[in-house]
Chains A and B, each alone.
Chain A
């Protein structure tokens, strides 16, 4: 069993929790490769996807994960929800609680929303991304992909490149990498760095070209202009010149280094098309891993209660 009731932030988890999730995901990957990709494990359990910020891939990934475990999945999105009628998040949470949901996956524009849900409902809460704070299942699927592709996690040097300060992916990935014995290096212009990267425990490098030859994983992020108060870079052109991953840079990287991206990609900005489509780029493996890892999270949070069985 996991040590935590909820998956809120990576720092709430222990290294053993992470290992257990990744190991469990291995068995679900095997299920996902079958022709009949369905298990009865969570039959009769209700999983709500409470997505109050637009999302396609994360919502679909959780939805598929719930279906493959035979849970009843309900989608509650901002456009169809009571929130547009002015209902508060607390009231929405209490309403869901009254309907006896077992697990709620929440995606929200603001940091701390999952924490708020835990205060007003009994269900297990999974943080599907809160503001620019954390996105723990993304970090877990990234670790899973790295482990599957490179064979191990300990000792890896992982460069996270680009818009660190607006990235909940980086917010979870940096502490997760430290927990498994890897070294996170955050790379980008100072205008896209968090105020105190030292408290996250990452090395800070402003030049991608300097860091590149040392990295085992090059993790590209999209610049989230929509979250910035003022334009943090002069132009996409200059950004691509300094921080874009292209064939020339790929040639300067370690031969076994892999390219990752949480999606959606901005081709031509942080990643060139030839790199995005190269075999060194594992973005689709990440998406594939996402389903298995989310199945593992749901199974480990709910499975122990209902006496269900793993694959």
Chain B
């Protein structure tokens, strides 16, 4: 089965390409990229005016299966990923039960093989039950397909145990993904400590509660030589710490989320629980520092922290509602609207921040737009208009921080291993 993509604007900094060209895909692999190509038989798709990128990957997704299939499943979460232009997601382990053994990793791998619309890379827990007390069976999880390890959702409070985890992970060259939150500083905090916590009368979550953990884990990575990836950085101080660490040549990577890039704490004035996140939305100065980190290369990737929640849980009082927003289906459109259409980033930068950067950070299989590469491809219609309504989502959950937004650009096609996961804007059932 052959597929010919005609007249797309093919952009991939790794392949060194940015031109209108045709792509021939055969047996799941890119076989040729060039001008005026044709195939004797097979499917031809005209993608004039569209942008072709190497397959985007989200390194921070909560699929909720097993345990909370009412919020999301492997099937619905990967459909949402395809809808948003991703060819792969990395699934965080804070499911119920926690993904902390090889057999639980295998469950997810099997579910993904049965029902996944895009690829799923499991992330295993660092500690048993994510309770921060004892190491989980990391080698066993790696043998079943775990790509990285994280106690995301809480973070490991004990510095000594973090050091042991890093030492142990070093043997496998697997990254530790750090959720930076010092619980003794956060307390019952639910919003950024400062103007908004004072105005709303809600417990504050200081920027320092993230930054002390970022500083701790950078020092421990330096001590142990472990690969460290810092999840969802939200403050100017965190970006400065990473910038300084990178200037010293440390193997540290980090991600920021679209909600921290494009929203700040001022939006919280109406107590909308869809805007309650961990870490919380920060000040305008923090937000600008995160964008600055994207532009100067300090930030390696944009990751969604897609966190689906049931409507009845989000409809509680702000302090009782769970943290998190969905993100897979809005990330690319937000990046285009706020960064590409405004000429702060190029599409080549997007390929770096949403494909190559995250793949390198977690050591995922590399893809690129050149002959011989696996055909994991994202095709974007940069002029498409998106209105984010509750009906827009393929995710089972609707708790988006961006409901009501009018955005520019969306993925029109997603190819995973040469097969369409998204075609003409519609998710393709397996």
CB of B384 to closest CB in A, whole Å = 32
Say yes or no: A195 contacts B197, CB within 8 Å: yes
Contacting residue for A108 out of B194, B206, B317, CB 8 A: B317
- Report whether A88 and B319 are in contact in the complex, using a CB–CB cutoff of 8 Å: no
A88 contacts B315, CB within 8 Å?
yes
Tell me the complex Cα distance, A57–B194, Å.
32
- Chain B residue nearest in CB terms to A200: B198
Q: Render B195-211 as a binary contact track against A, CB cut-off 8 A, 1 for contact.
A: 10111111110100000
- In the complex, whether A197 has a CB less than 8 A from a CB of chain B is yes
Residue B39 interfacial (CB < 8 Å):
no
The answer to whether A213 has its CB under 8 Å from any CB of chain B is no
Cα separation A152 to B234 with both chains bound (whole Å):
47
In contact, B315 and A199 (Cβ under 8 angstroms): no
| Interchain CB contact under 8 A, B316 and A89 | yes
In the complex, chain B residues whose CB is within 8 Å of the CB of A68: none
- Residue interface bits B297-327, CB-to-A below 8 A is 1, else 0: 0000000000000001001111110000000
Residue B193 lies at the interface, judged by CB distance under 8 Å to chain A? yes
Whether A133 and B202, one on each chain, are in contact in the complex, defined by CB atoms closer than 8 angstroms, is yes
Find out whether the CB atom of A195 lies under 8 angstroms from the CB atom of B194: yes
Q: Which of A88, A90, A112 contacts B200 (CB 8 A)?
A: A112
A199 to B198, CA, bound (A): 7
Bound form: Cα–Cα A133–B271 in Å:
12
* B385: Cβ under 8 A from any A Cβ: no
- Is A270 interfacial (CB 8 A cutoff)? no
Contact A199 B199 (CB under 8 A): yes
Assess the A133–B201 pair: CB atoms within 8 A. Answer: yes
In the docked arrangement, what's the CA distance between A199 and B188, Å? 22
A88-B316, A89-B316, A195-B197 known; A111 vs B270 contact (CB < 8 Å): no
Q: CA separation between A168 and B198, bound complex, in Å?
A: 11
| Given A195-B198, A199-B195, A199-B198, A112 and B317 contact (CB-CB distance below 8 Å) | yes
Q: Does B187 contact A (CB under 8 A)?
A: yes
**Closest-CB distance, A19 to chain B (whole angstroms):** 25
By a CB distance below 8 angstroms, the chain A residues around B317 are 89, 108, 110, 112-113, 116
Give the docked Cα–Cα distance between A287 and B319 (Å).
Answer: 30
Return the chain B residue nearest A228 by Cβ. B187
Query: Chain B residues with Cβ under 8 A from A142's Cβ?
Result: none
Cβ-based interface call for A134 (8 A): yes
CB nearest to B206 among chain A residues: A195
Residue of B194, B199, B316 with most partner-chain A CB within 10 A: B199
Knowing A89-B316, A196-B194, A199-B199 are in contact, say whether A229-B204 is a contact too (CB < 8 A). Answer: no
**CA of A90 to CA of B201, assembled, Å:** 21
Cα distance A296–B222 in the bound complex, in angstroms: 66
Q: Does A273 contact B (CB under 8 A)?
A: no
Determine if A131 is an interface residue (Cβ-Cβ < 8 Å).
yes
Quick check: is A98 within 8 A (CB to CB) of the other chain? no
**Chain A residue at smallest Cβ distance from B313:** A88
Question: Chain B residue with minimal CB distance to A113?
Answer: B317
Q: Give the chain B neighbours of A110 by CB distance below 8 A.
A: 317-320
Shortest CB distance B270–A (Å): 7
- Residues of chain A within 8 A (CB-CB) of B320 are 110
- Give the distance in Å from the alpha carbon of A88 to the alpha carbon of B311 in the complex: 12
A131 to B202, CA, bound (A): 8
A:165-181 near B, CB below 8 Å: 168, 171
| Chain A window 263-284, contacts with chain B (Cβ cutoff 8 Å), 1 for yes, 0 for no | 0000000000000000000000
- Contact A131:B201 (CB < 8 A) given known A111-B271, A115-B271, A196-B195: yes
Instruction: For the complex, give the distance between the alpha carbons of A229 and B187 in Å.
Output: 6
Residues of A within 8 Å of B271, CB to CB, are 111-112, 115-116
User: Is there an interface contact between B319 and A115, defined as CB atoms closer than 8 Å?
Assistant: no
- Kindly list chain A residues whose C-beta atoms are within 8 Å of the C-beta of B316: 88-89
The answer, among A90, A168, A171, for a CB contact under 8 Å with B315, is A90
Most chain A C-beta atoms within 10 Å of own C-beta, residue among B193, B315, B317: B317
Quick one: CB contact mask for A83-118 with B, threshold 8 Å, 1 for yes? Answer: 000001110000000000000000010111101100
For B188, the closest partner residue in chain A by CB is A229
Chain A CB within 10 Å — which of B195, B200, B204, B319 has the most?
B200
Please give the residue numbers on chain B whose beta carbons come within 8 Å of chain A beta carbons, in ascending order. Answer: 184, 187-188, 193-195, 197-204, 206, 270-271, 312, 315-320
27 contacts between A and B (CB under 8 A): A88-B315, A89-B316, A89-B317, A110-B317, A111-B200, A111-B318, A112-B200, A112-B318, A113-B317, A115-B271, A116-B317, A130-B201, A131-B201, A132-B202, A134-B201, A168-B201, A195-B195, A195-B197, A196-B195, A196-B197, A196-B198, A199-B198, A199-B199, A200-B198, A229-B188, A229-B203, A230-B184
Known: A197-B198, A199-B195. 13 other contacts (CB 8 A): A88-B315, A89-B317, A110-B318, A110-B319, A111-B271, A112-B271, A112-B318, A115-B271, A133-B202, A196-B197, A229-B188, A229-B203, A230-B187
